[in-house]
Chain A
Amino acid sequence: MSSQTLHTGTDKHSGSTTGTPTINRRYRNRRLPAAGTVGRFTALAVAAALTLGPVLWTLSTSLRAPSESFNLPPSFLPINPDFTAYQEVFRQINVGLLVLNSALVTGLIALGQMASATLAGYAFARLDFRGKKAIFSLVLATMMVPVQVTIVPVFMLIRGMGLSDTLLALILPAIPTAFGTFLMRQYFLGLPNDFAEAAALDGAGPWRIFRSVYVPLAVPGMAIVGILAFNFHWNEFFRPLILTISEQNFTLPLGLVTLQGNLGTGSISVVLAGVILSMLPALVVFIFGQRTLREGLTAGASK
């Protein structure tokens, strides 16, 4: 140990005397962390600017008068906001209906996922039945099947069920959730067993133990499932593009793309105003549910 320290000491020393610039600089950095730190914070600042820049540009361009949206230099800060573009969005597309559709679809999917994942997750975590492991693996395996592979048969199934071009076509297939089930199972496994034993001693049956003991405790886990479902399906584009046909059943992302199509390259600020409007709910979820969302996103990765 001591010989090692000594060795590195001489290493550094020889480094600084030979005057190789890289070693020299590194040696000085260890004493005065200024240079390396400046580089590091410059890189972080650039990355932050590149991440926020496009969003800021979108916001401030949406607040330009439609006739000025092409003007250069572009604006990055919303000075002298002009809300004409926002009025124009409401005039050109039925924003209310799109928001209502998106909210209905997303909300029902989130509720459905919360309910079904809680039930299934509880069964996998705390109930005994034959073939549990095999069935659980089967459920997890569905996570690896890309939505594009099943979309053609799902499309036909939806037609067969007479649900073509309805909001239910978007909602029903999205309710069974392998990831949500996995999350809820992990959540229930993390809860202590003592409560169940105590309740059983008091004569509670399996249903009552679930309903009165574990469901109240599982609310934070359910919130993770709900927020993740909201974020994913609010932004979903592929399935709505295929499963809805008429504009009255469009969700927001689809509506935006049509807004862009109607205008061509006519006025950026109107399209961008639509983009900003569609981001607002996601922004609210981000601000209030950031921790939940983060934990949910990373939960699956660290099995």
Chain B
Amino acid sequence: MTTTSTAPRQTVKPPAARRSFVERWLAMIFLAPTLLGMALFTFLPIIGSLVLAFFRWDIISAPQFVGFANFASLAEDPTVRVSFLNTIVFVIVAVILQLGIALGLASMLQARMPSWLRVFLRSTFFFPLVLSAASVSIFMRYMFNEQFGVVNWLLSLIGIPAVPWLTSPVASAAVVVLVYVWQNFGFSFLLFLGALTNIPKELHEAANLDGATGWKQFSNVTLPLISPTVLVASVMAIISALQVFDQPYVLTNGGPGDSTRTAVMVIFESAFQQLEFGEASAIGLVLTVLILAVTALQFRLSRRFVFYQ
């Protein structure tokens, strides 16, 4: 640490009032880039979205006030309805799979094993997170190709006939879920791994002495102890799944029909393909309300079910 010899020794501490004055100014300067940026690129756009949702506007002609018409047409628009339904089904299935796989693998990794193996497995499960969803979707699209895809080839080895993965409504929805979960389970896995490693060894030993083994030990000792992490992991998984876009856009472009169209895809399409900016804003607001509801639910649930040490 460098000491400043120029500073007069007698004023060791600046008067508190003066110091806080300087600090206040410094704080304002320090916060300026972040707060100005957020004001411009987050808060202003939120207000913009709120206003725009009540207008019909295609950029070219003047915006026209339509009241709640955009919201009303959402409820009637079959594509919008289906896409929200798809999104909700997607969130439920993807999140359950993602959390289940992550928790299962994280607890299996607690078994005794050489440390190189643990490091290898941890890195392996974490690896898909660093890839881009667009490139993952590109190679997965080829893997799931009906005629020459590797998935159907593997299935043919065990005698299962070719599945039209990307051309049947149900199968393509399944592919979108699988590809999404493949890429994202590593995040929940890391959270669970951290939580499980933090459980004191003595607790499991004590439970063992009391005769709790296997599933009993897991449900009565492990699960309550990691419940805060389970809750956080599920909320984060839900919020990110609600915003799914890259995978269905690249894998299926919403099809066949509307079977894999998600809420965000409809926002994108109505704004940037049909130039219905008001409707897009209205869909965005509905999605935001959904996300806020999930977050609010988290706070409620955490008070009732989560066991904090």
Among the 9-residue stretches B36-44, B66-74, B92-100, the one with 4 or more Cβ atoms under 8 Å from chain A is: B36-44
For the complex, give the distance between the alpha carbons of A132 and B182 in Å. 41
Per-residue interface assignment for chain A, residues 205 to 221, with 1 indicating a CB less than 8 Å from any chain B CB and 0 otherwise: 11110101100000000
- Bound CA–CA A74/B123 (angstroms): 26
Which of A81-89, A92-100, A292-300 binds B?
Answer: A292-300
B271 in contact (CB, < 8 A): yes
CB <8 Å contact, A148 and B243: yes
Interface residue from B28, B126, B130 paired with A129 (Cβ < 8 Å) = B28
Decide if A282 touches B130 in the complex (CB within 8 Å).
yes
Within 8 A of B (CB), among A155-189: 155-157, 172-173, 175-178, 181
How far is it, in angstroms, between the C-alpha of A142 and the C-alpha of B120 when the chains are bound?
Answer: 36
A208 to B271, CA, bound (A): 49
Chain B residues with Cβ below 8 Å from A61 are 142
Please tell me if A19 contacts chain B, counting CB pairs below 8 Å: no
Q: Is A150 an interface residue (CB 8 A)?
A: yes
A52 in the interface (beta carbon within 8 A): yes
User: Which residue of B has the minimal Cβ distance to A254?
Assistant: B134
- CB pair A294 B285 closer than 8 Å: no
Residues from 218 to 275 in B contacting A, C-beta threshold 8 Å? 229, 232-233, 236, 239, 242-243, 245-246, 249-250, 264, 267-268, 271-272
B140 at the interface (CB under 8 A from A): yes
B33 sits at the interface (CB 8 A): yes
Asked if B190 is at the interface (CB within 8 A of a chain A CB), the reply is yes
Which DSSP category, helix, strand, loop or mixed, fits chain B's interface? helix
For B8, what are the chain A residues with a Cβ–Cβ distance below 8 Å?
203
Q: Is A51 an interface residue, CB under 8 A from the partner?
A: yes
Q: Which A-chain residue is minimally distant from B42 (CB atoms)? A: A142
CA distance A246 to B153 in the complex (A): 39
Identify which of residues 253-298 in chain A touch chain B, using a CB-to-CB cut-off of 8 Å: 253-254, 256-257, 260, 265, 268, 271-272, 275, 278-279, 282-283, 285-286, 290, 293-294, 297-298
Query: Residue on B with the closest CB to A115?
Result: B33
Does A153 lie at the interface of the complex (its beta carbon under 8 Å from any beta carbon of B)? yes
Selected contact of B24 from candidates A122, A129, A157, A265, CB within 8 Å: A129
A149 partner, pick from B26, B141, B143, B288, beta carbons under 8 A: B288
Cβ contact of B284, chosen from A37, A148, A241, cutoff 8 A:
A148
B214 → chain A closest CB, angstroms: 6
A213–B3 Cα distance when bound, in Å, is: 11
Measured in the bound complex, the distance between the Cα atoms of B22 and A200 in whole Å is 13
Task: Count residues of chain A with CB under 8 A from any CB of chain B.
Answer: 110
A154 interface residue per 8 A CB criterion: yes
Residues of B within 8 A of A4 (CB): 209-211
* Interchain CA distance A287-B250 in the complex, whole Å: 27
Per the 8 Å Cβ criterion, residues 97-121 of B in contact with A are 101, 104-105, 108-109, 111, 113, 120-121
Q: Is residue B12 contacting chain A, with contact meaning CB distance below 8 A?
A: yes
Cα distance, A251 to B7, chains bound together (Å)? 51
Given contacts A242-B272, A294-B190, contact A200 B131 (CB under 8 A): no
- In the complex the two chains form, is B153's CB within 8 Å of A119's CB? no
Q: Is the interface of A mostly helix, strand, loop or mixed?
A: helix
Q: Which of A11, A48, A272 contacts B124 (CB 8 A)?
A: A48
Are A203 and B11 also in contact (CB < 8 A) when A175-B33, A272-B139, A286-B127 are?
A: yes
| A122, B52: Cβ atoms closer than 8 Å | no
Per the bound structure, the CA–CA distance linking A234 and B3 in Å amounts to 42
A265 to B29, CA, bound (A): 54
Is B4 part of the contact surface with A, judged by Cβ < 8 Å?
yes
Shortest Cβ distance from residue A173 to the other chain B in the assembled complex, whole angstroms: 4
Tell me if B203 counts as interface (CB < 8 A to partner A).
no
Q: Is the CB of B1 within 8 A of A213?
A: yes
Quick check: is A79 within 8 A (CB to CB) of the other chain?
A: no
Q: A153-B44, A198-B1 are in contact. Are A122 and B30 (CB under 8 A)?
A: yes
B167 to chain A, nearest CB (A): 13
Asked if A111 CB lies within 8 Å of chain B CBs, one says: no
Pair B131/A279 contact, Cβ less than 8 Å: yes
Query: Which chain B residues border A90 with CB–CB below 8 Å?
Result: none
Residues of B within 8 A of A275 (CB): 135, 138-139
A144 to B239, CA, bound (A): 8
Q: Does B61 contact A (CB under 8 A)?
A: no
Q: Which of A40, A130, A203, A265 contacts B7 (CB 8 A)?
A: A203
Query: Chain B contacts of A302 at CB under 8 A?
Result: 191, 194, 229, 232
Given contacts A8-B211, A51-B128, A153-B48, contact A238 B135 (CB under 8 A): no
Query: Are B46 and A293 in contact, CB atoms less than 8 angstroms apart?
Result: no
How far, in whole Å, are A131 and B278 apart by their CA atoms in the complex? 35
Q: What 0/1 pattern do residues 268 to 298 of B give for CB contact below 8 A with A?
A: 1001100001001100110110011001000
Known contacts A150-B49, A153-B49, A157-B45; is A120 also within 8 Å of B284 by CB? no
Task: Give the residues in chain B near A256, CB-CB below 8 Å.
Answer: 134-135, 138
Interfacial residues, chain A to chain B (CB-CB below 8 A): 1, 4-5, 7-8, 11, 26, 30, 37, 40-41, 43-44, 47-48, 50-52, 54-55, 57-58, 61, 70, 72-74, 115-117, 119-120, 122-123, 127-130, 132, 135, 139, 142, 144-157, 172-173, 175-178, 181, 195, 198-208, 210, 212-213, 231, 234-238, 241-242, 252-254, 256-257, 260, 265, 268, 271-272, 275, 278-279, 282-283, 285-286, 290, 293-294, 297-298, 301-302
Q: Which 4 A-B pairs have the closest CB atoms?
A: A203-B7, A8-B211, A176-B37, A153-B48
- Known contacts A123-B30, A152-B284; 6 additional CB pairs below 8 A are A74-B153, A120-B33, A157-B45, A176-B34, A213-B1, A253-B134
